Structure 1
Amino acid sequence: MINQQIDKNESSGSIASSAKFKALLKNNGALVALIVLLIINAIFTPHFFAMQTFYINMTQVAPIAIVAIGMCLVIASGNGGIDISVGSVLALAGALAPMVFMSEFGLNNPGIAIALAIVLPLLVATSCGLFNGFLVGHYRIQPMIATLILFISGRGIAQLLTNGDIQTFNNDFFQYLGTGRLFGIPIQAVILIIIALFVSWIIKTSKFGRYLLAVGGNDKAAFLCGLPTFKVKLIAYGFCGFCAGMAGLFTTAMNSASDANTAGLLMELDGISAAVVGGTVMMGGKAPVIGAVIGALVIQMMTYTLLANGISDSAAMIAKAAIIIGAIYLQLKNKQKH
């Protein structure tokens, strides 16, 4: 009788452990995928743990990750929230920066010009996001349509400003944003970590965070309860524009050039992919900011793993699509269970 009870307890413990393990995988799928990719690279990829490899991966993932944070908030705001203009806004911000410090005013006032070359593009990018948020929140235009305006015109404005030419420059202070290091860590990654932690803290502790999740969960109910749904969407889209602008500064500084024709191409897809892989629910109401950053790392590591082992970039794009399909499938499966 005692042995039967022991076996029963062991069986119950095994079931409970299995349930906990499944819950861990469900809630931390992106993190598990990242760990698996790191293990695979540690075994099969030469020089994976070299500092140069770390530096390359972090500088490449930083623009994607910061756009993913902004996209995470936009998607969380609900009502089909999405921003497909981030790539064009990135190109616009990236084009504006060198125009400032390479102008006659910039050459004569280098200190002021560098500060202005950072602040002005971020203000313009944030204004672009606010414009999107105004259309979505005030006029109730579908986000895909509302952000399509700047998706088309944003890059066109950048091309007009630069005459479609590549702007090359040599400015140590501005280039530090793209090539600088702090204690061996790329300055882009440092800024990304600060923004991610701050935004995550805002979502978890502030009134705005609670409003965002409530509006994203049920837009109409939140409005009837007196929540400022318009302001919430305005802030979410405005911040997404800011993130695209920051990514534009990173990209331009890293390349020591701005190219309005190619900068930010497909960035909207990478940002959406990273957010979804990181656990952002496409129906809204959930904003896992740190998850979005991990999702960006997963996508970057998947691309790096394939390319480092001689697999073409085309295959890497197919792998990205497969990851997105898997993430959406898990979301739908979890929704059916609830």
Structure 2
Amino acid sequence: MVNSDKPNAHVHHSDIWRKATLPITALILIMIVNAMISPNFFTVSIVEGHLYGSLIDIVHRGSPLIIMSVGMSLVIATGGIDLSVGAVVAIAGAVMAVLIDHNYPGWLIILATLATGALCGLWNGILVAYLKIQPIIATLILMVAGRGIAQMITSGQIVTFHSELFSQLGDGYWFGLPIRVIFILLAVVILALVIRRSALGLFIESVGGNTEASRLAGIDSRSILIGVYMLSGLCAGFAGMIITADISGADANNAGLWMEMDAILAVVIGGASLAGGRFYLGLTLLGALVIQSLTISILVSGLPAQFTLVVKAIVIVLILLIQSPQMKQKILAKWRNRHAH
């Protein structure tokens, strides 16, 4: 008897490698440009017992975006989108800063911050799964209201604090590596194992591929939808905790600003379709590194800060055009015509 799993597995792996081509190529090109702009870009040295350099800085500064993008990829896999994650960063950061300011225990502050993110996700999930509101509208509600909620929590002030525990989380090092990077990678690995080693990943893809068919197959699509929005909120809460710890304060107006766009772009660059279905956590991580590398390159180039969003938008449009199947077909057709003559 022929094992039918082998051809499917082969097709799945070849699909992953094909989709990996774009983020890997984009990352390499950005790195080459960085090396041309700054000759010491690839230099990694040890300063005061920890690794130091632009490459380390990309992963260090990009860690909140990585965890947020992983959560976003699960939402997009169901055919949804979460525009509220930047605001959730601000809300979670506000809760964390106020609790630190009131001298609550560290473990309680961590739990409360993560729970705040999960509760925001639960709100989005209920709107989408039970009230049948379009995901873009449902999450836009919290995106608009979220920063107002964060300002209410902090009484409209930028709350600053001093905490040895959280300063370590924000800017500390273990064995020469940033603590925040270690925690983020652990969280991503655990999440990937839970999703890919259980039926959860298939359920998520099934709901994104065809909600009605998955319901007829006995999958509780409402629970899946609520679950992925809660996971997205939890990831945003984790990102908010790191960002707040890094600056030792909560800034409701600027914390997580535009990060929802970066997270969505990271998922798309990672090969996922906004229509839902198959998702790739590893490639999403690569997509997040592409976005962060681009941000670092703009800073390294010495361009004024106001150009950052414009340059990023132009590069992203180019990447997405290259990724477009229609564009690929046109390029391939022109190449064939040229060689035919």
Q: Is TM > 0.5 for Structure 1 vs Structure 2?
A: yes
SS in 2 for 1:141: coil
Query: Which residue of 2 is the match for residue 247 of structure 1?
Result: 239
Kindly indicate whether the alpha-carbon contact (under 8 Å) linking 2:19 and 2:270 is maintained by their aligned counterparts in 1: no
| Residues 309-320 of structure 1 aligned to structure 2 (within 5 Å) | 309-320=301-312
Q: Distance in 2 between matches of 1:127 and 1:335?
A: 41
Kindly indicate whether the alpha-carbon contact (under 8 Å) linking 1:155 and 1:261 is maintained by their aligned counterparts in 2: yes
Kindly indicate whether the alpha-carbon contact (under 8 Å) linking 2:72 and 2:81 is maintained by their aligned counterparts in 1: yes
Query: Which residue of 1 is the match for residue 69 of structure 2?
Result: 68
Given candidates 23, 35, 38, the residue that maps to 1:45 is 38
Query: Which residue of 1 is the match for residue 128 of structure 2?
Result: 136
Q: Distance in 2 between matches of 1:176 and 1:63?
A: 15
Q: Distance in 2 between matches of 1:182 and 1:334?
A: 47
Question: How many residues were matched structurally?
Answer: 308
Larger Rg: 1
Kindly indicate whether the alpha-carbon contact (under 8 Å) linking 1:276 and 1:324 is maintained by their aligned counterparts in 2: no
Kindly indicate whether the alpha-carbon contact (under 8 Å) linking 2:26 and 2:319 is maintained by their aligned counterparts in 1: no
Kindly indicate whether the alpha-carbon contact (under 8 Å) linking 1:74 and 1:83 is maintained by their aligned counterparts in 2: yes
Q: Distance in 2 between matches of 1:92 and 1:200?
A: 26
Deviation at 1:179, TM superposition (A): 0.6
Q: Distance in 2 between matches of 1:336 and 1:233?
A: 33
Distance 1:22 1:136, change over 3 A: closer
Unpaired runs of at least 5, structure 2: 1-13, 45-51, 330-341
| Residues 277-292 of structure 1 aligned to structure 2 (within 5 Å) | 277-292=269-284
Given candidates 251, 260, 264, the residue that maps to 1:272 is 264
| Residues 2-81 of structure 1 aligned to structure 2 (within 5 Å) | 26-48=19-41, 49-50=43-44, 51-78=52-79, 81=80
1:85 aligns with 2:78: no
Kindly indicate whether the alpha-carbon contact (under 8 Å) linking 1:164 and 1:261 is maintained by their aligned counterparts in 2: no
Kindly indicate whether the alpha-carbon contact (under 8 Å) linking 2:167 and 2:245 is maintained by their aligned counterparts in 1: yes
Query: Which residue of 1 is the match for residue 93 of structure 2?
Result: 94
Query: Which residue of 2 is the match for residue 176 of structure 1?
Result: 168
Q: Distance in 1 between matches of 2:271 and 2:84?
A: 22
Q: Distance in 1 between matches of 2:195 and 2:321?
A: 26
Q: Distance in 2 between matches of 1:207 and 1:94?
A: 33
* Greater Cα offset, 307-316 or 146-155: 307-316
* 1:260 aligned partner, one-letter code: A
Distance 1:36 1:246, change over 3 A: same
* Greater Cα offset, 194-203 or 231-240: 194-203
Query: Which residue of 1 is the match for residue 11 of structure 2?
Result: none
1:206 aligns with 2:198: yes
| Residues 86-165 of structure 1 aligned to structure 2 (within 5 Å) | 86-103=85-102, 106=103, 113-165=105-157
Q: Distance in 2 between matches of 1:214 and 1:323?
A: 32
Kindly indicate whether the alpha-carbon contact (under 8 Å) linking 1:276 and 1:327 is maintained by their aligned counterparts in 2: no
* 2:25 aligned partner, one-letter code: V
State the Cα RMSD in Å.
Answer: 2.3
Deviation at 1:32, TM superposition (A): 2.1
Query: Which residue of 1 is the match for residue 289 of structure 2?
Result: 297
Q: Distance in 1 between matches of 2:192 and 2:204?
A: 12
Instruction: State the identity as a percent.
Output: 38
Kindly indicate whether the alpha-carbon contact (under 8 Å) linking 2:69 and 2:266 is maintained by their aligned counterparts in 1: yes
4+ residue runs of structure 1 moved beyond 3 angstroms?
Answer: 21-27, 312-316, 326-332, 334-337
Deviation at 1:286, TM superposition (A): 1.7
